[in-house]
Chain A
């Protein structure tokens, strides 16, 4: 009997290698879990009927282009769109023998923090189906937490991997910008988008990151990546952990989240880490507003290609302009429309310097502030999300409250830095996430620290109601 709620991907690989289970048995186990629970959780937008390989299954967020498998990015405008080519990450997964189970739910074009912006209905949190799984990669996070997939890939622009991982009690890595190819990933904000793993353990995370990372000739913004080391150490001796004052004191952090975070920091000290306070005042104050200039600006341009001319939805109109306008009006939901308008405004003549230009300058300041912190510390630690998973519908009428979910994840995204979520406890019976931030290309340091803490914390990642 395969317990998909507990089985890690690393264990699944072992079972296959030792021929203790067959690839078919593994596939069937996850399909059975999907049949059992996806009706409630709605993690998947599409499923693959027959496994295309003999390896460990994987779920892919629906912004990841997959040849021959519908890829909608959670939008009506791409309903029925079947890519002609594999994204580089999908290809690398295939080459590593991973077998795609299906495509997971996402806020439309990855714009959101709860999956409630998906054109195909929200996903639900396996810990409490009345609550959101976070977003935009809520489908991937809920699928892994709910035992519907051993691991999954997500994409992160301002927190879309880390925040849902936190809300679902699993591990999620947003890698250093430029380490994972964006080729074939439906673009939201090109200077921020990064694909990364959503997994049950830090070691699974390192394994999957190793599979997808590396320079890609099809993506000019990728770089050479240091060799990925699977974490082994169980202590934190010699590791300097900085706690950004402005991040733990930020408004809106729930007390239960703060408590779980502080207990984890205490544990880190016990494991031998040197913990100190550091400062990121400008990053925390300006990170979020700058993000909401840069990301919509790039999105307004990235989403211009959905015009009904070549693929996807086309509204039946005779004249070109009428057709484009109606297609986009009918095809895009409210959130993409809101961001297209914000972004178009921010890039307009006369406003560019004040908005987009200024935001890019602030980005440089945020980078510098982080670099200064890393002169004294190896990793920085903070809560990932200010709150635990919230109820569906709680924030849908208040975009600013929804945007505030990403307050703590956004600054490091703006600086292009890697961030890892490790579940660190419960508050009100719901998971709390620890965010570990490293310097550029320091994924190995994050894995090492995350692994040691994960071992010491002994967090039971199976949702209580499913145990």
Chain B
């Protein structure tokens, strides 16, 4: 079977922790990095008689997200109980949604270099997060070998949205691109920090492969515990490779769950359960159906920002796909829009110098940045870099930096260049015999002698002229 052309089929399940002030079903503050169990109450500790009350803000946030994902908003959504025993689940059930989620079918468009990838959204539903088991003793906080387990209920009951996509993604790149734009959307909606390292964004991937042209789906594997977009891409690639190997080796892929180990880049299969889960879902009788008002939905729709996919396509003609996507996915395109100047030059500075300096794009004054970029060839490089690094500071002005124009005075630079050429006769000879790459070496020498204050354009011109003389 070797030599067949395989097509990966990928679907994602994404959990997003909402940034509401209080928990999903009680009035406790969401502050789970605080002292353990300091944000708990009878409701989130499941004391006898305690009842849930749904957080209206969480419902509003989920409606917003649903609209951004093109989902149908259910006029009358239901909460269900998902029953199972676990120490981090105090009620013995999780309040979730089952057959009538708040957000039904939708589609999210991801621009690709060659046309759009429309990713179907199966559903997005609202539920409560579990508490956190803290394994004490043993190694690395794992359950194996731990002496005992403490439960921190601070996180228990945090609002969580689960987004499930159709198996519409065809490569790890596409999956990564989808996640980047989805994350961007979530952050811009202001409903979550969506940070994988903090666990406010969690992604599981369902991966299978099939022969190109095949229409059905083959058995899939589930990948869990991938805590960055790069790990997700690596995990998916490793799984695709594994499955192709299995099929081509004449074997059969079986349904399985794997944990991705970032340290080794390997997938570890989870121990198979003896019996299938039966969560005994039934409608939560302690809550009334969620009926988002038409007014709420319309207001949320009106407030929806222009979606990232649309923005990539809008910027693409003047910048090309890569720059356009980079700006949007990194959340720099709004700064780009308010920064005057040569479009490509601005985009490049935003994606390189500004990104490298770690400046928060939303804190930057576009006009001041524009002035800086416009003068970038006239100010000394270290000054330019320094100015960029400070461009997000409050009250930043480009003017003091612009005053430090680079030296472009030929009368000053000419003798210095002569001196450098004389001191490096060997390199001069090599350049003249065709090693033109050495130009950079001479530029570097000049910059070193001028503390970087020489105007590189002038230096280049002078060097070329003198070397070819």
Contacts and interface: CB of A to CB of B under 8 A. Distances in A.
B288 A221 contact: yes
A321 B42 CA distance: 24
B51 A301 contact: no
A74 B46 CA distance: 19
B450 to A, nearest CB: 70
B51 A305 contact: no
Contacts of B271: none
A73 B49 CA distance: 11
Contacts of A218: 51, 53
Contacts of B285: 189-191, 221, 298
B48 A65 contact: yes
Given A65-B49, A305-B91, A347-B83, A220 B282 contact: no
A216 to B, nearest CB: 9
B42 A85 contact: yes
Nearest to B149: A320
Indicate the size class of the contact surface on chain B.
20 to 34
A220 B54 contact: yes
Interface in A303-358: 303-305, 307, 309-311, 320-321, 324, 344, 347-349, 352, 356
B49 A307 contact: no
A305 B285 CA distance: 16
A349 B48 CA distance: 27
B87 A320 contact: yes
Contacts of B47: 65, 83-85, 310-311
B280 interface: yes
A220 B87 contact: no
Nearest to B91: A305
A87 B54 CA distance: 19
Contact of A347 (B45, B53, B149, B282): B282
Contacts of B46: 305, 310
A301 B287 contact: no
Given A191-B285, A301-B92, A305-B91, A349 B278 contact: yes
B54, B90, B151, B282: residue with the most chain A Cβ atoms closer than 10 Å: B282
B321 interface: no
Contacts of B149: 320
A309, A320, A349: residue with the most chain B Cβ atoms closer than 10 Å: A309
A190 B288 CA distance: 12
Contact of B90 (A81, A191, A309): A309
B93 interface: yes
Nearest to B286: A190
Contact of B49 (A185, A189, A344): A185
B43 to A, nearest CB: 9
Contacts of A87: 49
Given A220-B51, A301-B92, 9 more contacts: A73-B48, A83-B49, A183-B51, A218-B51, A220-B286, A221-B288, A301-B282, A305-B46, A347-B83
20 contacts: A78-B48, A83-B47, A83-B48, A83-B49, A183-B50, A186-B48, A187-B49, A189-B285, A191-B285, A219-B286, A220-B286, A220-B288, A221-B287, A298-B285, A301-B81, A305-B48, A310-B46, A320-B87, A348-B280, A356-B282
